[in-house]
Chain A
């Protein structure tokens, strides 16, 4: 019955296939260790810690479809291609609707409540700020304070919703949201 396992040629051929497939499959994650990503990305609300996020994200695109303001986009290139990231370059905002976390089938976006939402922190370019304080007025979580006549972001309060950036009268906007300070929970199975 196990003739072909004893048949050396067949066995070696299959073992060769196995080694070839394993090597080529594992080369993809290993290549990433050699060429790590340079810049961090803003991930959608409730995204788990980055290493785990890359492992559990199915790249199914449901969060991309669910987002009403279309700020969640699939990543174009690189090792993490197809994983969702938040693109604020069109001046859209995150409305904290949490539809993306509801849509995620693998809990790569954990179903956190609105109160825990934190996808980044706004940063003000003081060279271009004209101190109009519109951002101060529009911020939904009151994350701005005044310091020597300049608006300053309180990093603990800011949730990175991009509303301040979208209302900023300066063009291009003087406020950009950065991924630092985001809330990245631990993963638990769905």
Chain B
């Protein structure tokens, strides 16, 4: 049995679902802040991705929980329980938060898409025949992906030494959520939006997905938590893979799926599956990996 070729005009269902989920989450958070009190009856949705409550279910940022515990040298049980949600989904699906939930990742991907469109228009205007997708593959331009683990380590060390949750001050996810909330309910934005803007401009002009791929300590935490993941996109038909690297060009995390390089970082977004000319990459159940080799792989020891 051989996988069939995909048509060009096929519906990209995974990407559609993913975008709908991410847009819906942002819209619900914003709407619950603006009109929820008056007539939409969205009082059951409260908070942002730092701490989110939907009716009786609550989820909180695991890095925030770790920093809070370290900086106050105490264990916050209720936060531990609420941060379990993101911990458990990353134990099963790997770095799925980055690909399916994080609004900063969504904004980055939207900018990235926009940039690819602009570049394509310019290139077609000049009359050259570039590839259909002219996004520059991240792998050629990213710097050392192990930098984010060093960032995570320094976040933890500094929050212990200064007894202060330092990363929460510059977390682009928190800043984006806070500013959406204040913009929707009080019509002002805070000064700290400059940090978010800097990160987005950095991504747009210097490094595609440079923050998510190489710098974000939250992403690093999710990669480390997601080591024993049991569901992941993997190349299924190695013998017919033509190594066209379309999957690599579109991968937001800069993984080369056809060569199985950097699959620790995979956010299970499914773009490789959608971009593949054959039906090659499919989510497969993996053998549970051990955490032991992780540091060795990351730092290439």
Q: Which of A17, A29, A58, A73 contacts B50 (CB 8 A)?
A: A58
Among candidates B76, B164, B170, B190, residue contacting A106 with C-beta atoms closer than 8 Å: B76
- Mark contacts of A47-72 with chain B using CB atoms, 8 A cut-off: 1 yes-contact digit, 0 otherwise: 00000101110111110111010100
A26 at interface, CB cutoff 8 A: yes
Q: Is A133 an interface residue (CB 8 A)?
A: no
B154 with A22: CB separation less than 8 A: yes
Contacts of B87 in A (CB 8 A): none
Q: Mark A119-143, 1 if CB is under 8 A from B, else 0.
A: 0000000000000000000000000
- CB-defined contacts of B50 to chain A, threshold 8 Å: 58-61
For residue B157, CB closer than 8 A to chain A, the reply is yes
Assess the B37–A189 pair: CB atoms within 8 A.
Answer: no
Q: How far is the CA of A56 from the CA of B77 in the complex (A)?
A: 14
Is A116 among interface residues, defined by CB-CB distance under 8 A?
Answer: no
B135-187 residues at the A interface, CB under 8 angstroms: 146-147, 150-151, 153-155, 157-158, 161-170, 174-175, 177-178, 181-182, 185-186
Pair B162/A26 contact, Cβ less than 8 Å: yes
A residues lining the B interface (CB < 8 Å): 1-5, 14, 17-18, 21-22, 25-26, 28-29, 52, 54-56, 58-62, 64-66, 68, 70, 73-79, 81-82, 103, 105-107, 187, 189-190
* Number of A-B residue pairs at CB separation under 8 A: 147
CB distance from B59 to the nearest CB of A (A): 10
- Provide the bound-state CA to CA distance between A75 and B50, in Å: 17
Q: How far apart are the CA atoms of A121 and B75 in the complex, in Å? A: 34
A to B CB contacts below 8 Å, 19 in the list: A4-B299, A18-B153, A21-B154, A22-B154, A26-B158, A52-B72, A55-B72, A58-B60, A58-B165, A59-B174, A60-B48, A61-B33, A61-B178, A62-B51, A70-B185, A73-B182, A82-B190, A105-B51, A190-B79
**A17 and B299 within 8 A (CB):** no
Contact B79 A65 (CB under 8 A): no
**Residue of A77, A105, A187 with most partner-chain B CB within 10 A:** A105
Q: How far is the CB of A72 from chain B (nearest CB, A)?
A: 10
Q: In the complex, which residues of chain A have a beta carbon less than 8 angstroms from the beta carbon of B77?
A: 189-190
Q: Which residues of B have CB within 8 Å of A78? A: 191
Other-chain residue from A1, A14, A61, A75 in contact with B47 (beta carbon distance below 8 A): A61
How many Å lie between the Cα of A132 and that of B162 in the bound state?
52
Verify A14–B150 contact, CB threshold 8 A. Answer: yes
A188 shortest CB reach to chain B, Å = 8
- Among candidates B33, B192, B300, residue contacting A4 with C-beta atoms closer than 8 Å: B300
Cβ B46 vs Cβ A66 within 8 A: yes
CB contacts (< 8 Å) of B79 on chain A: these are 105-106, 190
